Structure 1
Amino acid sequence: MASVGFMVCISLERYLMITQPLWFRFRRNIKNSVVVCVVVWILPLLYILLLYFRVHHQILETISAIYFILPFPLFIFFLVGTSKALSAARSVPADEKRRIVAILVVVLLIYTLLFLPGIIWFLVKDARNNLILILTSLTLVNISPLADLMLYIFIRKGVVDKLLASLSCCKMSTNQPMISMSNDTSVSHTQNI
């Protein structure tokens, strides 16, 4: 639950940073970040308290389904809104645009691939007896920390660019002339040509 909460926070931050840059710059401070982190950690603890006090199973399933299904439209909204704002932005470099959109796409993919089977399990009554869906959703939720690590790697500057460069089908030709290190050699090289 905390993982989903922090993914929403990352997506919201990227969305506000692009669509409301002035508001984001003046409202962003460490106090707000600490409050958001505490709230994200308190929500799962409240759920554990409900488990401890043995609240009816149907109520817990409903709370879980709502908690896990609400971020899905938010992720899509943040991705579409950020993409639209970035396409109109002229001051943001192209590599930074790719990096921001890649982060939001990775968040949406992680959420969809890891948490959607569990959401289906919560919401569809016929799926509760499907052993394959149960095992799949539990396995995917348990590898969520690994996905969080991947998300952290994608947030770092330069990683997305290196990945896109390695996946690019455009390679530099080996026949292109090399740029020399010193001016003396480049002058003598041009004189020889």
Structure 2
Amino acid sequence: MEGLYVTSSSQNQSYHHNYTTADYQNNSNITSNYQNNNELNELYFILNVVTCIIVAVGLPLTLVAIYALYSMVRSDQVAPIYVINLLISDILQFCCMIVDVTPNVDWTIIFIFYHIYFSALFASVYFMVCISLERYLVIAHPLWYRCRRTIKTSVVLCVLVWFLSAVSAVLSKFSNHMMTFILFPILLLPPFPLLIFSLVGTLKALSASISVPSDEKRRIVGILVLVLLIYTLLFLPIIIWLLAIKHDQTLKYQSTIFIRLSPLADLFLYVLMRKGTKEKLLASVCCCRMDSNDISSPSV
């Protein structure tokens, strides 16, 4: 689990010390370990810089997105509830990243935020599953979903996701090192087939649907494809690293950067959830082009 939440360089040094103590008995291994430590320090520095950029860009944008999506919930739309909870989990991840890059933090605070981070990480994955399955049910089983589509049901499901995510983080605390490496993929791999099932099932249902407008079809497919891409590109690398027999430390830091980019990628879901956002952006661009053409054209 250290591969996802790096708290300090001293923690990394102690982590590697357990595996490399015996190698210090000869000079060649000392040189090799020294070079490896320099490389890991560079990767740790890059990780901190990237994390600071992610937090500086993503935190204010996520707060704005949550505020904007709240108006959609008041208009009795269910899907934004899952997106709002997804963005809330992103905010928790941003807060934990801030603690991670802050020097001289008390270990008690680090310990608390360590488990908050994993709870938010698990929650973000399963809220992506909720979004995909909700889109699938809207298209494939509209009558069944319409009868059971209530904000109360969605709130109960969100509470359940948060509870299970907290339990997963607590389980990681009581697991030993090897069990943690097994537990994490077990918890994060099941969403993968569910995301694929939602996309394939929705595509089949849309191909036979006549009542759904073409713009709405593109928007729904775009949401499902984006969710699957976020999971595949940003979450699968850390799962592959955990399942690998030999845990390469360079891959560890690279996959950590990928997974920390996931809150930024979630903001694109907000763009797709907002109807007319693309049209507004295109209209703004067209207006800017018309204004520039009016300025550049000579007056008669």
Q: What TM-score results when the alignment is normalised by the length of structure 2?
A: 0.51
Q: Structure 1 CA distance, aligned partners of 2:277 and 2:224?
A: 14
Which residues of structure 2 form unaligned runs of 5+?
1-121, 284-300
Q: Structure 2 CA distance, aligned partners of 1:104 and 1:150?
A: 12
Q: Structure 2 CA distance, aligned partners of 1:58 and 1:160?
A: 47
**Residues 1:35 and 2:166 aligned together:** no
Quick check: which one's helix share is greater?
A: 2
**Residues 1:138 and 2:224 aligned together:** no
AA at the equivalent of 1:109: L
Identity %: 57
The 5-angstrom pairing of residues 15-164 of structure 1 reads 15-52=136-173, 54-126=174-246, 128=247, 130-159=248-277
Deviation at 1:36, TM superposition (A): 1.0
Deviation at 1:123, TM superposition (A): 1.4
Contact 2:133 2:198 in 1 (8 A): yes
Question: Per-residue displacement from partner, 1:135-169 (whole Å, max 9, x unpaired)?
Answer: 11111111221112222222211235678x79xxx
Stretches of 4+ aligned residues off by more than 6 angstroms: none
Q: Structure 1 CA distance, aligned partners of 2:160 and 2:278?
A: 30
- Identify the residue that residue 125 of structure 2 maps to in structure 1: 4
Contact 1:11 1:75 in 2 (8 A): yes
CA RMSD between the two structures: 1.8
Which residues of structure 1 form unaligned runs of 5+?
167-193
Q: What TM-score results when the alignment is normalised by the length of structure 1?
A: 0.78
Contact 1:3 1:148 in 2 (8 A): no
Equivalenced residues, count: 162
